[in-house]
């Protein structure tokens, strides 16, 4: 017992150091414990080197990336990883473009999607007249006396595919319940044959002045 009690604190400290040293040697060399951990990121997919005068359309807008990193190394910041579609040298058409990762020196475990199908279209412009479209119910005693637009035509800019759907550019003027003058700035809308607005088009100017005089016909009560 005297042998055990002698320098007891020093002996306990030495034993603790031995245990720590054994644990380090044991687990540092264990690939299941020391090697790598997976980090999953969701990053936006963007295009680079788009030819001048063209626009790209695709439905897959984000990529899921799994990165392996070592224990003790800080995880990769999401903004440091970019998923890009390189459109160098391409013209109008449909392509399946591989997703390229721009990232620090990391080990990429997986990437989904690996490629994206996109349509590359030429950007075009058309000048079209603005048409008045009266909405609502026309009351029996109300007619249009005078109507004017300023300007009378607008420039519509967008991809050739979207522009081909446009049948007219209209402004919607509500029919009043009683005689009145209508004088407002309205947004002209490019619409297709079904009357639905065609998206992804820019109209300039984006507002036109609409003046309409609604009156009761002579002799009406």
The whole model's pTM is what? 0.61
Could you state, in order of their start, the residue ranges of all structural domains in the chain?
A: 2-31, 35-113, 123-215
In angstroms, the CA 190 to CA 192 distance is: 7
| 115 pLDDT higher than 90 | yes
From the options 2.170.120.30, 1.10.443.10, 2.102.10.10, 2.70.98.70, give the CATH code of 35-113: 2.170.120.30
Sheet holding 143-150, edge to edge: 143-150, 208-215, 180-186
Nearest CA-CA partner of 43 in 69, 82, 98: 82
| 3 pLDDT higher than 60 | no
State what percent of residues in the chain have pLDDT above 90.
58
């Amino acid at each position: 017992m005297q042998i055990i009690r002698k320098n007891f604190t020093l002996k306990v400290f030495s034993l603790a150091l031995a245990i720590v040293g054994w644990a380090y040697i044991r687990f540092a060399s264990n690939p299941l414990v020391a090697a790598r951990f997976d980090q999953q990121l969701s990053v936006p997919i963007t295009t680079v080197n788009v030819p001048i005068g063209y626009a790209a359309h695709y439905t897959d807008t984000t990529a899921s990336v799994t990165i392996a990193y070592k224990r003790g190394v800080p995880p990769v910041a999401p903004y440091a990883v970019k998923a890009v579609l390189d459109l160098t040298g391409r013209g109008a058409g449909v392509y399946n473009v591989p997703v390229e990762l721009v990232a620090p020196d990391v080990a990429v475990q997986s990437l989904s999607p690996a490629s994206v199908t996109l349509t590359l279209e030429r950007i075009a412009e058309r000048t079209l007249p603005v048409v008045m479209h009266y909405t609502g119910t026309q009351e029996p005693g109300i007619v249009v006396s005078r109507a004017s637009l300023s300007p009378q035509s607008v420039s519509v800019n967008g991809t050739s595919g979207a522009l081909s759907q446009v049948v007219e550019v209209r402004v919607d003027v509500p029919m009043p319940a009683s005689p009145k003058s209508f004088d407002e700035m309205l947004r002209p809308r490019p619409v297709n044959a079904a009357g639905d607005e065609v998206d992804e088009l820019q109209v300039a100017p984006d507002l036109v002045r609409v003046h309409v005089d609604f009156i009761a016909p002579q002799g009406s009560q």
